[in-house]
Structure 1
Amino acid sequence: MLFQVRMDVNIPLDMPVEQANQIKAVEKAYSQDLQRQGKWRHIWRITGQYSNISIFDVESNEELHNILQGLPLYPYMNIEVMPLNRHPSSIREDDR
């Protein structure tokens, strides 16, 4: 199942820099592992914002939910999820 996920990050301004950097380092490793597994297909930064648009390829809504809740920055995010389906006018044979 493919999902588009928008993540807006709002780290508290009073969080110590060292703590924020540690959370971001763990987040990066977690996200890159999911990318290597093929579950986190794409990630794009939204210019001028601490936000991204990502495409996930997972088995179920529950798997996506668990992945998102596992993000170290999850407590500081606003997340919007949009399920995706193949469009009948697509000329592609797959989802690449």
Structure 2
Amino acid sequence: MLFHVRMNVNLPAAMPADQATQLKADEKALAQRLQDQGKWRHLWRIAGQYANISVFDVDSVDELHALLTSLPLFPYMQVDVMPLCRHPSSIRDNDS
């Protein structure tokens, strides 16, 4: 199942810099591991924002929820999820 996920991050201004740095490093490590596993298929930064657009490929909504809530930055995110399915007018028969 493919999902389009927008994540907006809003770290508190009062968060100590070393804590923010560690959260970002932990987030990057997990994001890269999920990409290696094929679960986090695409990751795109939204220019000028602390936000991204991602495509996840998971077996269920429950799996997506578990992955998103496991992200170190999740407590500081606004997350919008849209399930995706193939459009009948697409000229491609795969997800490339």
TM-score by length of 1: 0.99
User: Root-mean-square deviation (CA), in Å?
Assistant: 0.4
The SS at the match of 1:52 is strand
Following TM superposition, by how much is the alpha carbon of 1:93 offset from its aligned partner in structure 2, in angstroms? 1.5
- Structure 2 residue ranges without an equivalent (≥5): none
Q: Distance in 2 between matches of 1:82 and 1:93?
A: 20
Are 2:88 and 1:88 aligned? yes
- Who is 2:30 aligned against? 30
- Who is 2:2 aligned against? 2
Q: Which runs of 4+ in 1 moved over 4 A?
A: none
TM-score by length of 2: 0.99
Identity %: 66
- Structure 1 residue ranges without an equivalent (≥5): none
The SS at the match of 2:72 is coil
Amino acid at match of 1:33: R
Following TM superposition, by how much is the alpha carbon of 1:22 offset from its aligned partner in structure 2, in angstroms? 0.3
